[in-house]
Structure 1
Amino acid sequence: MRNLSLAGVLLAATLLLSGLPATAQDDPPMAIADTSSPRATLRSFIDASNEVYGIIRTEYVFDRTNPAHSAAARRQLDCLDVSNLPAFARDDRAREVAVCLKEILDRVQIPDWDEIPDIEAIEAAGGFEKLSRWRIPGTRLTIARVEEGTQKHEYLFSPGTVDRAIEYYRSLETRPYRTTGPATSPKMYRWYMSVPGDPWVASVVRRLPERLKFGRTLGMTNWKWPGLLLSALVAVGAMVLLYGVGMRLGRWARGTRPLAYVLTVVFPVAAMCVPKLFEHFVYSFLTVRGTPLYVLGFVVNAVFTLAAIVVVFASFSRIAELIIASPRIRPQGLNAQLIRITCRLLSLLVAAIVFVVGGQYVGIPVGTLLASAGIGGIALALGAQDTLKTLFGTVMLMADKPFQVGDRIVFRNYDGVVEDIGLRSTRLRLLSSHQVTVPNDELARSDIENIGRRGCIRRVTDVHIPLDTPREKVERAVTILREELDGHEGMDPEFPPRVFFLDFLPTAFAIRVIYWYHPPNYWDYLAFGERFNLAVFRRFEEEGIRFVLPQRLTHTSVESRPAALEVQVQAEAPTADRPAGLAAAGE
Structure 2
Amino acid sequence: MDVLTAANRLSRSFAPWRILALALAMTFWSSAGPATAQTADTTVAAEAGPVAASDRSPLAPLPLSSPRATFESFQTLSQEAVDTILEAIDVASNNTAFFDTAEVRALKAEGVEELMKAAQTLDLSAVAPESRETVGVDSVLLLKEILERIDLPEISEVPLSVDAAPGSDRPIWTIPETEIRMVGTPDANGTLRYKFSPETVRRLPEFYARVRHLPQQTGSEVDFYRTFTLGPGLSAPIELYSTLTRLPPSLLRDYAGQAAWQWLAFGAVTLVIIGGCVILLVRAFGRPATGWHARRAVSLLVVVALLGVYRWLNDDIINMTGRVQTLIEEIVLLLQGLTLAAFVVLVFNSLARRIWTVPGVKREGLDASLVRLAIRLTGIILAGFVLATVATRLGMPLYGVVASLGVGGLALALAVRPTLENFIGGIILYADRPVSVGDMCKFGGVQGTVEAIGLRSTKIRAVDRTLVTVQNSDFAEMSITNFSRRDGNLLQFDFGVRPDADGSEVMKAIAEVAAQLRDDPRIQKDSVRVQVRETPEADLQLEVRAHSLLADWSSFLEMRHKILVSVLDTLKPHGILRHDGELANG
TM-score, normalising length: structure 2? 0.48
Q: Provide TM-score, normalisation by structure 1.
A: 0.48
